Structure 1
Amino acid sequence: MVEKITKTISSSFEENIDFMDRILPVDESFDIIRRNLEVGGRNAVFYFIDGFVKDETMLKLMTSFIALTEKTMPEDASAFCKKCVPYVEVDVLGNFDQVIRNVLSGAAVLFIEGYAACICIDCRTYPARSVDEPDKDKSMRGSRDGFVETLVFNTALMRRRIRDPHLVMEMTEAGQVSRTDIAICYMQDRVDAELLKNVKTRIEELKIQDLRMNQQSLAEALFKRKWFNPFPKFKYTERPDTAAACLLEGKVVIMVDNSPSAMILPTSILDMIEEANDYYFPTLTGIYLKVTRTLITIATVFLTPLFLLFMQNLNWLPEVFSFIAVRDVVNIPLIFQLLILELSIDGLRLAAMNTPSMLSTPLSVIAGIVMGEFSVQSGWFNSEVMLYMAFVAVANYTQPNFELGYALKFMRLMLLVLTACFNWIGFLAGCICILCFLIFNKTLSGRNYLNVKLN
Structure 2
Amino acid sequence: MSYQLGKDIHANMNYFNQLFKVDKSFDILCRTFQTGGRLACLYFINGFVDDTSLQRMLLKLETEIEEFPKNAKEYAEINISYIEIDILKEEKAILKYLFSGISLIFIDGFDEVIAIDARTYPARGVEEPEKDKVLRGSRDGFVETIVYNTALIRRRIRSNDLVMKLMEVGESSKTDVVVTYMDGRIDEKLLNRIISKLENLKIDSLSMNQESLAESLYRGSWFNPFPKYKYSERPDTTAACILEGSIVILVDNSPASMIIPSSLFDIIEGTDDYYFPPITGTYLRLSRMLISLIALILTPTFLLFMDNPQWIPKGFEFIIVRDPMNLPLIWQFMILELAIDGLKLAAVNTPSMLSTPLSVVAAVIIGDFTVSSGWFNSEAMLYMAFVVLANYTQVSFELGYALKFLRMIMLILTAIFGIWGYGVGIILVIVCVSFNKTVSGRSYLYPLIPFNAKNLLRRFFRVTLPNSKNQRV
Q: What does residue 343 of structure 1 align with?
A: 338
Structure 1 Cα separation of the partners of residues 94 and 223 of structure 2: 44
* TM-score relative to the length of structure 1: 0.95
Aligned to 2:57: 61
How far apart, in 1, do the equivalents of 2:321 and 2:206 lie? 51
Q: What amino acid maps onto 1:52 in structure 2?
A: F
Q: How does 1:148-167 map to 2 (within 5 A)?
A: 148-167=143-162
Offset at residue 370 of structure 1 (A): 2.5
Matches within 5 A, 1:321-340: 321-340=316-335
Pick one of 262, 275, 284 that aligns with 2:279: 284
In structure 1, runs of 5+ residues without a counterpart are none
Q: How does 1:78-157 map to 2 (within 5 A)?
A: 78-157=73-152
Moved more, 40-49 or 71-80: 71-80
Aligned residue number for residue 399 of structure 2: 404
Mean Cα deviation higher: 152-161 or 356-365 = 356-365
Q: Give the Å deviation of 1:197.
A: 0.8
1:30 matched to 2:9? The reply is no
1:226 aligns to 2:238 (yes or no) = no
Determine if contact 1:7/1:97 at 8 Å carries over to the other structure: no
Query: In the alignment, what sits opposite 1:250?
Result: 245
Given residue 322 of structure 1, which amino acid in structure 2 is its aligned partner? E
Partner SS for 1:47 = strand
Deviates more, 1:368-377 or 1:179-188: 368-377
Mapped to 2, the partners of 1:82 and 1:426 lie a distance apart of 76
Offset at residue 225 of structure 1 (A): 4.4
Give structure 2 stretches of 5+ with no counterpart: 451-473
Aligned residues: 448
2:183 corresponds, among 188, 193, 211, to: 188
SS of 1:345's equivalent?
A: helix
Deviation at 1:10, TM superposition (A): 4.2
2:43 to 20, 43, 47: 47
1:307-347 per-residue CA deviation (whole Å, 9 max, x = no partner) reads 11111122221112222121221221110011111111111
User: What do you get for the CA RMSD once the two structures are aligned?
Assistant: 1.6
Equivalents in 2 of 1:336, 1:159: separation in Å? 52
Tell me if the contact between 1:150 and 1:257 (Cα under 8 Å) persists in the aligned partners: yes
Letter in 1 for 2:380: V
Confirm whether residue 17 of structure 1 aligns to residue 52 of structure 2: no
Offset, 1:67: 1.2
Q: How does 1:433-452 map to 2 (within 5 A)?
A: 433-451=428-446
Please state whether the residue corresponding to 2:32 is helix, strand or coil: strand
- In structure 2, which of residues 381, 404, 408 is the aligned counterpart of residue 386 of structure 1? 381
Distance 2:426 2:111 in 1: 68
Separation (CA, whole Å) in 1 of partners of 2:104 and 2:391: 51
TM-score w.r.t. the length of structure 2 is 0.92
Partner of 1:361: 356
Q: Partners of 2:306 and 2:389 in 1: how far apart?
A: 23
Identity of paired residues, percent?
Answer: 52
| CA distance in structure 1 between the aligned counterparts of 2:268 and 2:67, rounded to whole angstroms | 64
Q: Match for 2:92: what amino acid?
A: D
How far is 1:114 from its partner? 2.4
Deviation per residue, 1:127-178 (Å, 9 max, x gap): 1111100011011111111111111001000100110011111111111111
